[in-house]
Amino acid sequence: MTAAYPHLRLRRTRAAAWSRALHRETALTPADLIWPLFVTSGSGVEEPIASLPGVSRWSVDRIGQRAREAVSLGIPVLALFPNTPRDLRCETGREALNPDNLMCRAIKAVKDAVGADVGVLTDVALDPYTSHGQDGLVDAGGFVVNDATVEVLVGQSLNQAAAGADVIAPSDMMDGRVGAIRAALEGAGHHNVQIMAYAAKYASAFYGPFRDAVGSAGLLKGDKRTYQMDYGNAEEALREVAADLAEGADSVMVKPGLPYLDIVRRVKERFEVPVFAYQVSGEYAMIEAAAAAGAGDRDALVLETLTAFRRAGASGVLTYHAAHAARMING
């Protein structure tokens, strides 16, 4: 039931700033943001990443400062990704199981700096640790094998949980990994360690700068299409989400972000569970490139895109713009 023009004028509520503020349906707060950080070896290191202007790799001793920054900005959780030194990468990615690897040291650095004031989300997949850049173990023909990979991912998850990770985020897209990781976490007494499953993760051209950031770009031959999803598919995303929830995921993720808001919305409506979205490296780079080219206002692009995720139904967004966005929101 609605009035008709001219009794109905939808512009009335838009006419003044106070009214636009009053009628805004979707709010973006710093608590909606997850801040991904890249960790590198050495000490006192800040290493800018050329394909991600404004984003750096930090050595472990400088991670605590980022964690304190997150607390002061109101960002609730950090997502950590290691750039493993080349000589520690191998066919099987066994550095992922080292309790003293970059990831574990970074987790501890965050906890030492801010305790429980910030959550630590850790990526589970082997690509930062393998000499071939694939997310899992490969057979003689180069095919990424599922079940043997899952066994390693379970070990990687337990390693991260033992170091203090709060949220295990498997980004590998192997079948059955969420159930296996959940069982192992329960078995090891990590009852409150969450799993945020990269449930609907597409084989995407938007991951390029990330692969530079973790140092796998030059190593990867071929693509990841035998495990990451075909971007033509949506029903399959719903099946992936259903499987991960049934296996014990606490929340699910859709990735990439902006070109996949239809998937965010469908997952939210179908499952009514916490859905997160990853505004990935290539999306970040596009915004930065547009701003640098004078094709758009950076701050406005950041706030509009992040709010769009919330409007689509996302509980939160992983974004390299997290700190900048939080500063803008906080004024």
Site stretch for ligand PBG (CB under 6 A), options 59-67, 111-119, 123-131, 160-168: 123-131
Work out which of 207, 227, 276, 309 binds ligand PBG, going by CB under 6 A. 207
Tell me whether residue 32 or residue 113 sits nearer to ligand PBG (CB atom).
Answer: 32
Are 42 and 105 within 8 A, CB to CB? Answer: no
Work out which of 154, 196, 249, 280 binds ligand PBG, going by CB under 6 A. 280
**Is position 212 an interface residue for ligand PBG (rule: CB under 6 A)?**
no
CB of 120 to ligand PBG, least distance (A): 16
Strands (E), 134-223: 167-170, 194-201
Work out which of 38, 210, 260, 309 binds ligand PBG, going by CB under 6 A. 210
Nearest-CA neighbor of 114 among 79, 82, 78, 161? 78
255 is catalytic: yes
> Could you write out the DSSP letters of every residue in 223-253?
-STTTSBPTT-SHHHHHHHHHHHHTT-SEEE
Are 64 and 118 within 8 A, CB to CB? Answer: no
- Choice among 201, 221, 224, 268 that is catalytic: 201
**Is position 276 an interface residue for ligand PBG (rule: CB under 6 A)?**
no
Distance CA 103, CA 39 (A): 7
Site stretch for ligand PBG (CB under 6 A), options 66-74, 205-213, 269-277, 322-330: 205-213
Q: Is 50 helix (H, G, I), strand (E, B) or coil?
A: coil
Site stretch for ligand PBG (CB under 6 A), options 89-97, 206-214, 258-266, 298-306: 206-214
* Residue 7: Cβ-neighbour burial (10 angstroms; 0-12, 13-18, 19+): exposed
Applying CB under 6 A, the residues found at the interface with ligand PBG are: 123, 125, 127, 135, 171-172, 207, 210-211, 224, 280-281
